[in-house]
Amino acid sequence: MICDGSTPPPFGRALCAMVTPFTPAGTALDADRAAKLAADLVSRGCEGLVLNGTTGESPTTSDAEKRQLISAVREAVGASVPLVAGVGTADTAHTVELARQAEAAGADGLLVVPPYYSRPPQAAVEAHFRRVADATGLPVMLYDIPGRTGTRIEPDTMLRLAGHPRITAVKDCAYDLLGTTRVIARTALAVYSGCEELNLPLYALGGAGFVSTVANVAPTETRAVLDAFDAGDTAEAARLNRRLLPLTELMTASGLPGAVTAKALLDAGPLREPLQPAGPGAVAGLRRAYAELADR
């Protein structure tokens, strides 16, 4: 089936890749703070939330913390806000178990990366995704981020996986505009930008929206770009996109992970090692760019 643009995106358009708040010592999930952050993000324009993803420091949270986070956020935002839970690991069986736990905890969808480190061939990547998609009744968002996993989900693999009834979306961090455009043109997969600089370009090509790290601190401003485009004012969409550029560049292209830069601007507790907090100079630059965005 080819996407004709008439079907609403399965998880909304403007999704935030939410940070995971920890207690001051960093040893436990701060569920209350997570609930408050989630509710605030939704009140300021986020249509859905992605939990336990890269920005959520999923490699350093336990399975129990992942479940607790989903439950706390679900209670805070209610049943109408789509929650997509990251469940990807290097182990197919573990990923399947996390998928089932996420479903039981109240997730609406699953974000799944290819198994990392082992670098499986495409046939094994495809088999992995089918196993996970068959394990629950939840829709699956494929997460194509070869810079982190070491393994691409090749466009031809996505074209085959698009035939699975529960594989409905892609978070695209592959930096392959031609390949991504092929997937948009030839399937009904909802393709979300996972790279801030491609949020508007991919949307203009028929993408579903974005999964944004910057939305942790600027949810209204990131969504406004899509709203302007949907209203037919492409010049305003481009202007609003440019307005976000200084903050976007510092948060996602400064050599620091998004979890580090987002937490430098948020009251969300510490990072977990091996991540380290941003230095004073980086924090000052981030705060300056954030203040300038608010003033524009």
Residues catalogued as catalytic: 143, 171
Instruction: Yes or no: say if 164 and 145 are a contact pair by the CB < 8 Å rule.
Output: no
142: which strand partners?
Answer: 112, 170
Nearest to 111 by CA among 36, 260, 211: 211
**What is the phi/psi pair of residue 292, to 5°?**
-65, -35
Classify burial at 121, counting beta carbons within 10 Å of its beta carbon; exposed 0-12, middle 13-18, buried 19 or more: exposed
Cα 285 from chain centre: 24
- Secondary structure (3-state) at 190: strand
- State which amino acid sits at residue 82: P
Instruction: Yes or no: say if 5 and 201 are a contact pair by the CB < 8 Å rule.
Output: no
DSSP state of 19: -
Nearest to 259 by CA among 57, 21, 87, 36: 57
Report CA-CA distances (Å) from 89 to 17, 38, 73, 106, 241. Answer: 17, 24, 22, 20, 33
Residue-wise burial string across 7-18, b where 16 or more C-beta atoms lie within 10 A, e elsewhere: eebbbbbbbbbb
Q: Can you tell me the distance from the alpha carbon of 140 to that of 135, in angstroms, rounded to the nearest whole number?
A: 11
Q: Can you tell me the distance from the alpha carbon of 111 to that of 144, in angstroms, rounded to the nearest whole number?
A: 10
